[in-house]
Chains A and B, each alone.
Chain A
Amino acid sequence: MTDAIEAQESLEGVLKDEIIRMYQEVADNPSGEFHFFHGREAAEQFGYDEEWLSRAPSGAVDSFAGVGNPHERSELQPGETVLDLGSGAGLDAIISSWRVGSTGKVVGVDLNPSMCLKAQAHAAETGSVMECHEGRMEEIPVPDESVDVVISNGVINLSFRKRKVVEELFRVLKPGGRISITDIVCAKQLSQSIVNDPKLWAS
């Protein structure tokens, strides 16, 4: 293995820990102040339906840390299978489960196993069923051509290997499937000092 690959893998490991720490903190301490808007305030800012936010468990709403509203263009239909990549505390997965109905299916994937448990508990509170798998977005633990729609909210930007993530999205989608994602993009190349700082990258 080359030094460059070893360095990349080492940095990815540290980044994984920092991402888990940061978003766990949002879930554990939703009244805390973060550099990004979160919770109901953020969801309202992005046009989430008030009815959704009132109906969803407060734990899922308060821990919301998205950067937009992937439901706005997802056009989910009853009976569809949805993958929520980076499902966090479960708000987007729960909303998706309402939209695809009892004949549909929602699968979450999250780096943090405790967030998976939290999301599933939140879904159960609303009478919804949600599968959630611990896993990395660069190796999505979902079979080939098994989902109709992938949604994701503010997650892909956290990966060092975005091409691999996009290839994985393509792999898991059925032919004719689609994605609806909201995320952060950057017009300029980030300096190496930012890239090499997991705390800044996770931010």
Chain B
Amino acid sequence: MFRLLEESGFTRVRSAVVPGFRFRQASTQNSAEAFGVKAVMMTAAKADDA
């Protein structure tokens, strides 16, 4: 997503992991961790002259 935002013309792309995000069931959470699944916050801007 980060790369897609930059490639689409967005500037000031920032991301951070959402603290505390997890799945309810342990088995789902374990699978998610195995795939590197996480929740992130992303912000980006469209330049004034875009």
User: A: which residues have CB within 8 A of B?
Assistant: 33-37, 45-46, 67-70, 72-73, 154, 156, 162-163, 166-167, 169-170, 173-188, 190, 203
Contact across chains for A188 and B36 when beta carbons are under 8 A apart = yes
A185 touches B8 (CB 8 A): no
Known: A156-B1, A162-B4, A166-B4. A182 touches B39 (CB 8 A): yes
CB distance from B38 to the nearest CB of A (A): 6
Q: How many A-B residue pairs have CB under 8 A?
A: 107
A178, B21: Cβ atoms under 8 Å? no
B46–A174 CB distance below 8 A: yes
Residues of B within 8 A of A179 (CB): 5, 10, 42-45
What residue of chain A has the Cβ atom nearest to residue B16's Cβ? A73
A45 touching B20, Cβ below 8 Å:
yes
17 contacts between A and B (CB under 8 A): A34-B24, A35-B28, A36-B23, A36-B24, A67-B21, A68-B40, A73-B41, A163-B8, A166-B1, A170-B8, A170-B9, A175-B49, A180-B43, A183-B39, A184-B39, A185-B40, A187-B35
Contacts of B10 in A (CB 8 A): 166, 170, 179
Chain B interface residue count, Cβ-Cβ cutoff 8 angstroms = 31
Determine if B42 and A35 form an interchain contact, defined as CB atoms under 8 angstroms apart. Answer: no
In the complex, which residues of chain B have a beta carbon less than 8 angstroms from the beta carbon of A33?
Answer: 24
A145 to chain B, nearest CB (A): 9
Shortest CB–CB separation between residue A139 and chain B, in angstroms? 16
- For residue A46, which residues in chain B have a CB less than 8 angstroms away from its CB? 18, 20-21
Within the assembled complex, what's the spacing in Å between the Cα atoms of A116 and B24? 27
**Chain A residue with Cβ nearest B15:** A185
In the bound complex, CA of A203 to CA of B25 (Å): 13
| C-alpha gap A73/B12 in the complex (Å) | 13
Give the distance in Å from the alpha carbon of A174 to the alpha carbon of B46 in the complex. 8
B21 to chain A, nearest CB (A): 6
